[in-house]
């Protein structure tokens, strides 16, 4: 299973973003990517802060623990590995 190379959600067909030619992206989800562009111009740190509430929603961890885990998950992804 592929994951979004920005936020790491599973890239099921229904979650795929769109490229400039309206085809489905095999790299990014619809929450991050639309018409060949990222929806939000965020840094990795901003993306982590954005995702923390969703990440801890069903986990018994602190925001700081979530921050550390998300950094490990997101840092190697295509969108962030070049930073």
Condensed to tens digits (0 to 9), the pLDDT of residues 1-23 reads 799 999 999 999 999 999 999 99
Q: Which of 58, 80, 82, 83 is nearest to 3 (CA)?
A: 80
CB 10 within 8 A of CB 3: yes
Q: What is the pTM of this model?
A: 0.89
Residue 61 is classified by DSSP as -
Q: Which of 10, 29, 9 is nearest to 19 (CA)?
A: 29
Distance linking the first and last C-alpha atoms of the chain: 25
Q: What angle do CA 62, 73, 2 make, to 5 degrees?
A: 130
pLDDT tens, position by position, 29-52: 999 999 999 999 999 999 999 999
């Amino acid at each position: 299973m592929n994951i979004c190379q920005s936020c790491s959600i599973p890239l099921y067909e229904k979650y795929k973003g769109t490229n400039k030619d309206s085809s489905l992206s095999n790299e990014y989800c619809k929450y991050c990517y639309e018409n060949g562009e990222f929806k939000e111009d965020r840094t990795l740190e901003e993306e982590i802060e954005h995702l923390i509430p969703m990440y801890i929603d069903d986990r018994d961890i602190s925001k700081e623990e979530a921050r550390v885990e998300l950094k490990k998950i997101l840092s190697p992804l295509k969108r962030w590995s070049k930073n």
